[in-house]
Structure 1
Amino acid sequence: MAETVPDTASDATPLHDVLRSRGYIKLLLLSALVGVPIAFACFLFVSLQHWIQHGVWEALPRTLGYDEPPWWWPLPALLLAGLLLAPVVTRVPGGGGHVPVKGLGGPPSGPRELPGVLFAALATLPLGVVLGPEAPLMALGSGLALLTVRSAKRAAHPQAALVFGTAGSTTAISTILGGPLVAAVMIVEAAGLAGPKLVVLLLPCLLASGVGGLVFTGFGQWTGFTIGALRLPVVPPNVSPDAGDFLWGVPLAVVIGVVVAAAHRLGYLSAEWTRRRTALRTVVCAVAVGVLITAYALITGRSPAEAALSGQAALGALAAQPHAWSVASLVVLVLCKGLAWGICLGALRGGPIFPSVLLGAAMGVACSGLPGFGTTPALALGVATATAVVTRLPVTSAVLAFILMGEDATNQTPLIAVCAVVGFVTAQLLDRRRVAGRGTGEV
C-alpha cells in the first residue's frame, strides 16, 4: 500500500476525510479481496480438523469393532496429544498459539507463528482436547492477511497492518460463529472504541468477513464437506418465556456464572503450573484431561466423546434431544468437562468459547425440570450466560445465543439479554473479589 490510513487515533481528523482517503479505500479493497483466500484456507482447516476428528472418534473405533469409543479411548488419545504439543509449546515460534485462558485478545498473529499454531490445532484438537477451533482460526486469518502486506510496509504503517490483520481474524472467526454479524459485534465490543475510530476499524472487518462468509458457504455446498461450526440444527419446541422462566433464569444465570468462572480460574492455575518444566507438565495435563473424560464415560455409561473435544456436536445433540440425558449425567458432564476445560485453558492450545457454550447449555437443561421453567429458555440463557462469562462481551454473547436459537430466537431475546448481562456482572464481581483476596494474602 503506497498510502496509509490517516491517523485514526486523533479525533481531530474528520471521519469523512478518513473514509475518502486513497489509503483507506485501498485498505477496504484489499480487505474484500483477502476474504476469499482466507475463507478458502479456513474451509480447508476446519474440514481437515473435522476429518481427523471423525477418524479418531468414529471411524477407528468402528474398525476395531466398537459401535462408539470405549471408555478408555481418551487415555491414549490425550497422551498422544500431549506428546505432540509439548515440543511445539517449548521450541516452535509462537508456542503453538496464545494461552487460551487469556481469551481471544492480543495483537493479530503474524506469519512466523502460523505453522506452529496450525500444527498444534490439527495435531491435538481432534484427539479430544477440550477447546475450540476459534483461536487457531483467528490466527490463520490474521497471519494470511499480514502475509499480503510486505514486512517493510507493515513496519512503515503499523496501524494499517493492525487493521488489516484484525480484518483477517474477523473473516476467520465469522466462518464458525454464525456469520459476519457475530464477528462484527465482537470486534465492536472488544475494541472499546467509539465514533470515527470504531467506523474505521469496523468497515474492513465487516467487508472481509461478509465476502469470506459467502465464499466459505459456497465451498461447503459445493464439496458437501461437514465442518465443525457452532450451530443448533434443531432446538426444543417454540415456547415463549414467562414470569417463571425469569424467576428461575436469573438466579440460574448467577450459578452458571460462578461455575464457569471457577473452571476458567482453573486455567490460570494450570498456566502457572506449566510455566516450569513445561514439556513434562503439558503432557501431564493432557493425561489428566483424558482421565476426566474417561471418568465421565465410566460414571454415566455414555460415550466419552460427549465430554471430549470442543463440544459443538454434543451441543447439537443436547438441543435436539434435551431429555435424552438424565440430570445426573448432565451434572457429571459439567463436572468432568468443566475441570478438563479448565486444565486445557492454561496448559494446551485452542479456543476457549466452544466448550463453555456446552457447559452453560448443560446446566440450563439440567435445571429445566424445575416447576414453571421451560427447556428452551433454559438452553438459551445457558448459552448466553456462559459465553458472556468467558468472553466478557455480553452483547456478542447475546447475539450469538440469538443466532443459535434459530426460529425461536425472537421469543427468547429478553431472557437472553438479561442473562448475558447477569453472567457478565457475576464474572466481574468474582474478578474483583479475587483481586481483593490477593491484596489481603488470600487465594
Structure 2
Amino acid sequence: MTATQPELAAPSVRQLVLLSIPAVVVGVVSALALWAIEALAGLVEDGVWTNLPKALGIDPSSGWWIFAVLTVTGAAVGLTVWLVPGHAGPDSATTELVAPPLRPAVVPSLALATVLGLAGGVSLGPENPIIAINISLMVALVGRLWKAVPLQLVLMMAASGTIGALFGTPVAAALVFTGMVAAIKGGGALWDKLFLPLVAAAAGSLTMTLLAHPHFGIPMPAYTTVTGWDVLAAIVLGVIATAVGLVGVIVFPLVHRAFHALRHPLLMTLLGGAVLGGLGALGGPITLFKGLTQMGQLVTSRADYSAGQLTLIVLVKLAALLVAAGAGFRGGRIFPAVFIGAAIGTLANALVPGIPIQIAVAAGVMGLTLAVARDGWIAIFIGVAVTQNLLILPILCLAILPAWLMVSKAPEMLIKQPVLTPTSPRAAGGAGR
C-alpha cells in the first residue's frame, strides 16, 4: 500500500464536518457495490452449484463436476481478460490491496471477471477487485459532484468504505490506514487524518451489515482463562502458520511465471481452471470459493475430519490460492489465507487436543494472514474477529512478535512487474492504469 500514500494536510474542523457528507455517500455506495457483486455472484453460484446439477440429477460435490465447473470458469475468465474491453484491469497478482484508480472503462470487465471467479469456486476473495472498482467509480463520481474534494482523499475514503463493508466493522479500515497516514506529510493529529476515512468505513460497514450481515466469527466453545501454555501454543502455532504462508509466498512467483509463460490470457486461466478443478476434486467442496463460509463449516464440524484429511485440506487450499492468484484470475488473497490459517489451527487442535480451539485457530489465522498480507494490524484483527473473544487479543499481540521477525525481511506475495501478452498489449498486466 505504500504506492498510494497521499500527501494531505490536516483538515480543519469545519472541513471535517463538510467533508463528512461525501464520506458517508462514498461509504454507502462502496458497500452497495460490494453487496451487488456478491449478490450477483451468489445467484450465479446457486445456479451452477445447486440448481443446474439438481436439474441434471448430478451430485455437485462429485470430483468430475468440480473439475468441469472450474475448468469452464477458467475459460470464461480468460475470455473476459482477452476479449472484453478493459481486459479486467491489471493482474491481481501485481496489485496491492489499495492501488491507484483505474479508468472507469475497465470497471465492467473487472466486475465480470470477479463475479465469474467468485461464483465458479476460485480460491480468491473479492477484496482487491472490489476496492479497485470502488476507488475508480468514486474518484470519477466525486470528481464530478464535489470537485473541491482532493482525489487522494476520495481514494482513501473509497478504500476505507469498502474495507469496512468487507470486514463488517470500521475498525479494520482504521488499522489498515493507520500505517498509511502515519507516513503522510503535513501537520495535524493522526486522528484528524483518519476522521474522514473512518466516516466512510463506518457508513460502508453499517450499510453492508444491514444488507448482508457479514461476519468472520466462528461459533466455538467459551474461552475464559488464559494460561501460560496457551500463550506458548499461540507463539509456536503463529510461527508455524507464518512459515507455511512464507513457503507459499516464495513459491508464488514461480507459479505466476509458469502460467504466464503461456502468453495468452485464455490459455492461462483455462489451464488454471483445470488445475483448480483437479485440486477441488482432490480436496472436496470445502476447499472451493473464497473460504469464509467454508472456514466456519470446517471449524464447527472439525470432529468429522481426521488429521490426515485436515493436512490435505491445508495443502490443497494453499495450492489453490497460488494457482488462482498466479493464473490471472481476479481476486484477493486475504480471504483464502484466513481459511488456510483456520485449517492449520484446526489441524493443531486435532493433533494436540489440549490446545484450545480458539487459540489454535486465532494463531493460525494470524500467521497465515501476516505472511500473505504483510500487515500486523490486520493479522491481529482477523485473528481476534474469528474467535469473537477479546481475551485472545493480548495473546496475539505477543504471538505476532516472532512471526513479524520472520516476515519483515521475506519477499511479499506480490509480482512487482506486470506481465504483458502479445495478443492483447495491456490485457494481462497494466490495462487501465
Same fold (TM over 0.5): yes
**SS in structure 2 at match of 1:95:** coil
The question of 1:340 aligning with 2:330 is answered no
Matching residue of 1:362? 343
1:311 to 256, 274, 291: 291
Cα distance, 1:67 vs structure 2? 5.6
The question of 1:399 aligning with 2:385 is answered no
Q: Is the 8 A contact 1:388 1:421 kept in 2?
A: no
Residue range with higher mean Cα deviation, 119-128 or 363-372 = 363-372
**SS in structure 2 at match of 1:107:** coil
Change (3 A) 1:61 1:427: farther
The question of 1:251 aligning with 2:224 is answered no
The question of 1:35 aligning with 2:27 is answered yes
Change (3 A) 1:206 1:98: farther
1:288 to 268, 271, 275: 275
**SS in structure 2 at match of 1:350:** coil
1:139-179 alpha-carbon deviations (Å, 9 max, x no partner) = 2321221121347997xx8x811210221122122112131
**Aligned residue pairs: how many?**
400
Change (3 A) 1:240 1:362: farther
What is the correspondence of 1:33-432 to structure 2 with a 5 Å cutoff?
33-66=25-58, 68-91=60-83, 92-93=85-86, 95-100=88-93, 102-150=95-143, 160-193=150-183, 196=188, 198-199=190-191, 201-220=193-212, 229-276=214-261, 277-279=263-265, 280-296=267-283, 304-347=284-327, 348-368=329-349, 369-370=351-352, 372-406=354-388, 409-431=389-411
Q: Is the 8 A contact 1:101 1:352 kept in 2?
A: no
Query: Whole-Å Cα distance in 2 between the matches of residues 200 and 111 of structure 1?
Result: 30
Aligned-residue sequence identity (percent) comes to: 24
Q: Is the 8 A contact 2:124 2:333 kept in 1?
A: yes
**TM-score by structure 2 length?**
0.84
Query: Whole-Å Cα distance in 1 between the matches of residues 189 and 151 of structure 2?
Result: 15
Query: Whole-Å Cα distance in 2 between the matches of residues 171 and 292 of structure 1?
Result: 34
Q: Is the 8 A contact 1:101 1:267 kept in 2?
A: no
Cα distance, 1:36 vs structure 2? 2.5
Cα distance, 1:351 vs structure 2? 0.8
Residue range with higher mean Cα deviation, 331-340 or 177-186 = 177-186
**SS in structure 2 at match of 1:237:** coil
**SS in structure 1 at match of 2:20:** helix
Q: Is the 8 A contact 1:175 1:213 kept in 2?
A: yes
Query: Whole-Å Cα distance in 1 between the matches of residues 103 and 51 of structure 2?
Result: 35
> What amino acid does structure 1 have at the position aligned with 2:391?
N
Query: Whole-Å Cα distance in 2 between the matches of residues 139 and 431 of structure 1?
Result: 23
Superposed structure 1 runs of 4+ greater than 6 Å apart? 151-154
> What amino acid does structure 1 have at the position aligned with 2:394?
P
Query: Whole-Å Cα distance in 2 between the matches of residues 232 and 427 of structure 1?
Result: 26
**SS in structure 2 at match of 1:373:** coil
Change (3 A) 1:144 1:197: farther
**SS in structure 1 at match of 2:142:** coil
Change (3 A) 1:105 1:273: farther
Cα distance, 1:78 vs structure 2? 1.4
Change (3 A) 1:107 1:94: farther
Q: Is the 8 A contact 2:80 2:113 kept in 1?
A: yes
**SS in structure 1 at match of 2:174:** helix
Query: Whole-Å Cα distance in 2 between the matches of residues 362 and 427 of structure 1?
Result: 21
1:241-278 alpha-carbon deviations (Å, 9 max, x no partner) = 42222333322222211111222333322322344413
> What amino acid does structure 1 have at the position aligned with 2:378?
T
> What amino acid does structure 2 have at the position aligned with 1:334?
V
Cα distance, 1:68 vs structure 2? 4.7
**SS in structure 2 at match of 1:118:** helix
Q: Is the 8 A contact 1:27 1:164 kept in 2?
A: no
Cα distance, 1:124 vs structure 2? 1.9
Q: Is the 8 A contact 2:235 2:400 kept in 1?
A: no
Q: Is the 8 A contact 2:26 2:161 kept in 1?
A: no
**TM-score by structure 1 length?**
0.82
Query: Whole-Å Cα distance in 2 between the matches of residues 365 and 239 of structure 1?
Result: 19
Query: Whole-Å Cα distance in 2 between the matches of residues 123 and 370 of structure 1?
Result: 39
Matching residue of 1:440? none
Query: Whole-Å Cα distance in 2 between the matches of residues 98 and 111 of structure 1?
Result: 17
Query: Whole-Å Cα distance in 1 between the matches of residues 277 and 401 of structure 2?
Result: 34
Query: Whole-Å Cα distance in 2 between the matches of residues 136 and 88 of structure 1?
Result: 14
Change (3 A) 1:250 1:145: same
**SS in structure 2 at match of 1:336:** helix
Change (3 A) 1:383 1:170: same
Unmatched segments (≥5 aa) in structure 1: 1-7, 221-226, 297-303, 433-443
Change (3 A) 1:87 1:60: closer
Q: Is the 8 A contact 1:230 1:354 kept in 2?
A: no
Change (3 A) 1:124 1:322: same
Query: Whole-Å Cα distance in 2 between the matches of residues 312 and 210 of structure 1?
Result: 22
Change (3 A) 1:69 1:371: closer
Between 1 and 2, higher relative CO (CA 8 Å, sep ≥ 6) is seen in 2
Query: Whole-Å Cα distance in 1 between the matches of residues 226 and 279 of structure 2?
Result: 35
